[in-house]
Structure 1
Amino acid sequence: MFVAAFSEQEQRELAEKLTSLLSTYRHISDSYIIEFFSESLWDTLPVSWQDALGDLTPPQIADLLLDKEIKDRRYPSVWPLSLLALRTAAHALSFPRKAPGGHGQDTGAAVPEEFQSNQSQSSLLGHIFRKHVKPKKQHEIRRLGTLVKKLCDQANCSCVVDVGSGQGHLTRFLSFGLGLDVTGIEADPNLVLMATKFDRQLLLTLAKENLKSGNAQSLHSAPGPSRHVVGWVNPKASWDVFIQQLGVTATESDSIGATTGPYEKKQLVEELNLEPHSCQIKAEELQNTLPTQKTDINTSDSVAQINTGVFPSGMATEMLTCKTVPVTDCGAKKPGRFVLTGLHACGDLSSTLLRHFATCPHVQVITSVACCYMKISTQENPNPPGVFQPPFSADTVADSSLEFGYPMSDWVRGLPGHQLSYKAREGACHAIEDYLHRLREESGLLRTHCYRAILESIIRAERPDMRRPGVQTVRKAHALSFSEYARLALPRVGLPADLPFDPVAVDAMLAHQGKVVAYFSLVLLLAPVVETLVLLDRMIFLQERGFQSKLIPLFDAAFSPRNLVLVAVKPKEAQS
């Protein structure tokens, strides 16, 4: 299903309600669960809330607080109206997360249907696209790739730019699988080299399969139709700089990095260990031997259920004609029209792509799947920790130097209380479906937050100046006693493993594990509200510039928590 397109007035009213709710409960969304004991977080809640939540079992917390699908709730005690109002508002104002045919916000125990027979291999994705790809990514590239293909067909545009393409899994499926001309741009040159390597492995696999089947004719040099470019998409740079990045090839500038190139006949013959005269394959026979690619996208209006072969008509022939198609050809020197996509584009990258869509005349469609909201720049926090900030020349800076990742829209920027802290945005990246599963199973993993909160109180008693130090994950911490956990964790913050602590005080804190879980569940209740405000701000940004957009809960949320895809298509009169 689609999240229905809102009118401008409806979008603005929802933004007002979201900012009002988050402003009221900022003390919860901004709190760190590891400070539960050191900052006495439980005591910050109203006494009536403490009474209602303090003795709940984990499954009760799941049913009564977090699961919006539960209709018949049975309360062990009378809940205060303020707590009921918070839960109702958080559920009502958050964008739906249940994908067509998916499990949505449930126990998370089941996997998508495509993994029922084999939990590591999608039954709906051809085997050549599953190699090196984890199940979550298989699920994502199949669904997003199908959506992009449908949008390309509707826009009569076969060129796609995949930003943050990584090892090229989506790029590979779009090009080899769906017949699109794809350019992937990725900042990490090592990932680009891996993408190129995997492309060639795929070609080699196809050639071997055809030789085994006895369908041997003529195999010339066979490049993949995709192209990989090394490049960092600067959020401060204008769209024409972005276009230039896509248009430069490795032969034009050694500094641009690796790109895919022709797969020479000699190289392929050597890898196949064949005599040159025996390496013969007909393009049409190559196409006929490939498995059928099935899809199960079931959406309304602009995205219909489709079935497609791994190679559409003529695709195999294109593969064997030694033709590399960059987005600029889609116009070699004159940029052409293209679809822009980003699968879990991190931090400001997603907002940058939306700005390019709004301003660049060559971008006709965008599909944006965001992640890592805590890495978004804001006026209060323009340089979030862990974000790459290379230098850039003055001539690449966009017109406005005050453009941040949030808020993007003028409307949200003008609302009182619209600010979202680093912690609130980090919380929006949590997987509520996974936590629901832990609650219902009463998983031992629920113990982890309590352990870390106790450790924080011990650290501060020894070093009052040390607040929230990073502790690398202690493997299987929930299966250890607290003493064992502390012995492994303390050296990771520079403290002795045998640092003494009061075991009686530790036992007293361990007895409050249920309250730690209840408080964290309140934080998690607000996480979808924060995500909704971030994404709604982006929709309003597009609306302010004359573009309608929709959100699609495309992935199974229990399998892929950041599952909302923002889609916008330029009207025909705006298309170049």
Structure 2
Amino acid sequence: MRGLLRTASDASDVEKYATLLVKFLSEYRWLTDAYVLDYFVENHWQKLPSSWQNVLKDIELDYLSQLLETASHFRPRAIWPLSLLCTIRVAKLSALTRKPVSSPDEIPEFSTKHCARPLHESNDRLGSFEPSENLSHAFRKHVKPKKQHEISRLGKIVHLLSCKSNSKHVLDVGAGHGHLARLLALGYGLKVSTVDVVGSHQSAANRFDDQAALHVQKADRRVGITSHPSTSTISGELPKHFTLELSKATTRADLEQFTRSSWSHRGEDHPFVLVGLHSCGDLGPSVLRLFAQVPTCRAVALVGCCYMKMTDDGGKPQVQEAIRKPAKLVQTAVRPLSRFVVQASREGLSYEAREVACHALEAYIKKLRDDPSSLKIHCYRALLEKVIVKRYPDYRHVPLGGVKHAANMTFSEYAEKALEKFPLQVCDIQVDNPVLEEAMKDWKKVITFYSLRLLLAPAIESLILTDRMLYLWEQGISSCLVPLFDPSLSPRNHVLLAIKQ
């Protein structure tokens, strides 16, 4: 599917695509909803068709990586059941492409032509994305390579959105330490405010801003203003950082009052671009709702993440701390945003399906190829879950401590480390058992089952993203989905872009 929705014809195509995804995923709910943690508890391997079991039981893990490659056509080395081959093929064909665009000019609705106001004079032709490593020191300091890649690309797109929507103001939601906001303000001359629920982020962001501004001033005195913010900057106002939570409870009036006070002492309205870089859980849908409701919000750029944290009531996922009060995770389905997907699907995507949609597929494929034994951890954790549930059924799905270098341990060694903060003694649940060590021989089957779930993950995410497009369309707003980031660096690599006409 083209990630573009601007006409009734486009809407029809996107609705057909969403219907296909709903039907396809409903056929495999038994797989998408099978938490790998419960592999031994619920005997997941036996859920596979017997013909699948026969060809997958001895599959080499490096060969399994080819099955997951989204851009390649999988060719089995032996005769495989047609049902399995069709599942693999449809899963790959139905997912949105993850190959990142190389230039803003590849985004038809958001090309550099016909901007409402001129592009930055040093960027009148945006051309290809600059490599993030070319960001100047001012924008690289305190910023990890992954984030450098993201802010370099998204910064250019937000600048373009601001030009096309004639908006000089930007509100960055869930901004963290303000790395993107800093680039937009000092690098592109935009007036930027940020909000983040974590108060300590505000003080860090202010400190980093001051350091960046000092570096910019020194650099500009040495060489003058150069051609691109990757090497220097257009000195602008520093971002304004606020500690504030945007949620499902935030109203149009709340946001309008905040933006007026943020950008104007006289309470004036300014058109602005709303930005969310990896907006977690309910924050993503909240950003889209507020974008649709607030007239002065002229454009949006949204990258979502942590879909499993979305809720129907806007509250926190109902997960209790087992050490205080043991309880099974309450994992409920979440209602889609758009009316169309609500009507097309009998029920929303489950917690398990949304959780697997958040995995780093490309990183997992690399591990399958280069270091498959490191994935034994999935078998260890699933086996420990069986032990815990058998002895203490009320402690199912209890969060346990992470264990480094687990692949080099026996199961009992792993269990002792993982249970260090568990409220019960290790000896009470008898992990040092020859039967359990024997079960570890099935670790490759656990990885194979887990990989089959990951095969469907891009299709699940595609449905979530398409649902968001259709929601905006139902509000009278065109949009497009763009694979903006390198998925090996940034697994949630699609950005949803929209400009109000």
Please give the TM-score of this superposition, normalised by the length of structure 2: 0.84
1:86 is aligned to: 87
1:159 equivalent in alignment to 2:162: no
User: Partners in 2 of 1:169 and 1:20 — Cα distance?
Assistant: 40
Whether the aligned pair in 1 keeps the contact of 2:252 and 2:294 (CA below 8 Å) is yes
- C-alpha distance in 1 between matches for 2:28 and 2:315: 24
Match of 1:548 in 2: 478
The correspondence of residues 438-453 of structure 1 with structure 2, limited to 5 A, is 438-453=367-382
In 2, the alpha carbon distance for the partners of 1:14 and 1:210 equals: 50
Shift in CA distance, 354/447, structure 1 to aligned 2, threshold 3 Å: same
Q: Which residue of 2 aligns with 1:454?
A: 383
Residue 290 of structure 2 aligns to which amino acid in structure 1? Answer: H
**Cα deviations across residues 200-221 of structure 1 (Å, max 9, x unaligned)?**
1222334455778999xxxxxx
1:360 aligns with 2:294: yes
Alignment of 1:32-111 (within 5 A): 32-63=35-66, 65-71=67-73, 73-101=74-102
Q: Aligned pair 1:345/2:348, yes or no?
A: no
Residue number among 416, 421, 445 corresponding to 2:350 in the alignment: 421
The SS at the match of 1:229 is strand
Rounded to whole Å, the distance in 2 between the matches of 1:53 and 1:237 is: 49
Distance in 2 (CA, whole Å) between partners of 1:223 and 1:76 is 59
**Separation of aligned partners in 2, 1:97 and 1:418:** 27
Q: What is the total number of aligned residue pairs between the two structures?
A: 451
Pick aligned residue for 1:20 from 17, 23, 32: 23
Residue 256 of structure 2, aligned match among 237, 240, 243: 243
Distance in 2 (CA, whole Å) between partners of 1:146 and 1:562 is: 18
Once the 2 structures are TM-superposed, how far is the Cα of residue 509 of structure 1 from its aligned partner? 1.3
- Read off the aligned partner of 2:206 and give its amino acid letter: T
| Distance of 2:397 and 2:199 partners within structure 1 | 34
* Amino acid in structure 1 at the alignment position of 2:91: A
The answer (yes or no) to whether the contact 1:183–1:228 under 8 Å persists in 2 is yes
User: 1:113-140 CA deviation, whole Å, 9 max, x = no partner?
Assistant: 988xxxxxx4321111011111100100
Take 1:224 and 1:153, find their aligned partners in 2: how far apart are those partners? 18
Q: Which residue of 1 aligns with 2:117?
A: none
* Counterpart in the other structure of 2:420: 491
Letter in 2 for 1:493: F
User: Relative to structure 2, which stretch is displaced further, 224-233 or 123-132?
Assistant: 224-233
Quote the Cα distance in structure 2 between the aligned partners of 1:378 and 1:547. Answer: 23
Aligned to 1:185: 195
For 1:166, give the aligned amino acid.
G
Which ranges of structure 1 fall in alignment gaps of 5 or more residues?
103-112, 116-121, 216-221, 250-325, 388-403, 572-576
Which amino acid in 2 is paired with 1:541? Y
If you compute each CA radius of gyration, which structure gives the higher value, 1 or 2?
1
Distance 1:483 1:355, change over 3 A: same
CA distance in 1 between partners of 2:373 and 2:48 (Å): 26
Shift in Å at residue 195 of structure 1? Answer: 0.8
Determine if the alignment matches structure 1 residue 29 to structure 2 residue 42. no
Q: Is the 8 A contact 1:19 1:417 kept in 2?
A: no
Alpha carbons of structure 1 residues 554 and 211: separation in structure 2 relative to 1, 3 Å:
closer
Q: Find the residue that maps to 1:370 and give its secondary structure.
A: strand
Deviations 1:475-521 (A, max 9, x none): 22223222211111123322323442463312321111111011000
Alpha carbons of 1:54 and 1:231: their partners in 2 closer, same or farther (altered >3 Å)?
same
Instruction: Kindly provide the CA deviation profile for residues 94-121 of structure 1, in whole angstroms up to 9, marking residues without a partner as x.
Output: 111110359xxxxxxxxxx988xxxxxx
Q: Deviations over 1:462-486 (max 9, x none)?
A: 2233212111211222232222111
| Counterpart-to-counterpart distance in 1, 2:189 and 2:17 | 40
**Of 445, 466, 469, which residue of structure 2 is paired with 1:515?**
445
Larger RCO, structure (CA 8 Å, separation 6 or more) = 1
| Structure 1 residue corresponding to 2:405, chosen from 464, 470, 476 | 476
Residue identity opposite 2:498 in structure 1? A
Deviation at 1:452, TM superposition (A): 0.6
Measured in 2, the distance between the counterparts of 1:133 and 1:214 equals 24
Does structure 1 conserve the Cα–Cα contact (< 8 Å) formed by 2:274 and 2:301?
Answer: yes
- SS of the aligned residue for 2:421 comes to helix
Kept in 2: contact 1:412–1:418 (CA 8 A): no
Residue aligned with 1:201, SS? helix
Pair 1:539-2:472 in alignment: no
**8 A Cα contact 1:35 1:456, kept in partner:** yes
C-alpha distance in 1 between matches for 2:142 and 2:384: 38
**C-alpha separation between the residues in 2 aligned to 1:180 and 1:207?**
17
Question: Does the CA-based 8 Å contact 1:203-1:224 persist in structure 2?
Answer: no
CA distance in structure 2 between the partners assigned to 1:167 and 1:227 by the alignment: 12
Kindly tell me: are residues 74 and 525 of structure 1, through their superposed partners in 2, closer, same or farther at Cα, counting changes over 3 Å?
closer
- Distance (whole Å) between structure 2 residues aligned to residue 339 and residue 214 of structure 1: 29
User: CA 1:426/1:483 → structure 2, altered by over 3 Å: closer, same or farther?
Assistant: same
User: CA contact under 8 A between 1:233 and 1:349: conserved in structure 2?
Assistant: yes
- SS of the residue 2:340 aligns to: helix
Q: Is the 8 A contact 1:373 1:428 kept in 2?
A: yes
- Separation in 2, partners of 1:343, 1:130: 17
Equivalent residue for 1:259? none
Distance 1:357 1:462, change over 3 A: same
The equivalent position to 1:371 in structure 2, one of 280, 305, 320, is 305
Q: Distance in 1 between matches of 2:161 and 2:36?
A: 42
Q: What amino acid does structure 2 have at the position aligned with 1:230?
A: T
More helix by share: 2
Report the Cα distance in structure 2 between the residues aligned to 1:214 and 1:135, rounded to whole angstroms: 27
TM-score by length of 1: 0.74
AA in 2 matched with 1:99 = P
Instruction: Output the CA distance in 1 between the equivalents of 2:26 and 2:168.
Output: 45
Judge conservation of contact 1:344–1:369 (CA < 8 Å) in 2: yes
Percent identity at matched positions?
38
Aligned to 2:19, the other structure's residue is in SS state helix
Q: Distance in 2 between matches of 1:432 and 1:520?
A: 11
Tell me: CA distance 1:239–1:245, structure 2 relative to 1, closer, same or farther (3 Å).
Answer: same
Query: Superposition RMSD on alpha carbons, in Å?
Result: 2.6
Instruction: Answer whether contact 1:347 1:405 (CA < 8 A) is retained.
Output: no
Distance 1:526 1:422 in 2: 15
CA contact (8 A) 2:177 2:204 kept: yes
Which whole-Å CA distance do the structure 2 matches of 1:156 and 1:23 have between them? 43
C-alpha displacement of 1:334: 2.0
Cα pair 2:174 2:195 within 8 Å, conserved = yes
Give the corresponding residue for 1:254.
none
Matches within 5 A, 1:228-239: 228-239=241-252
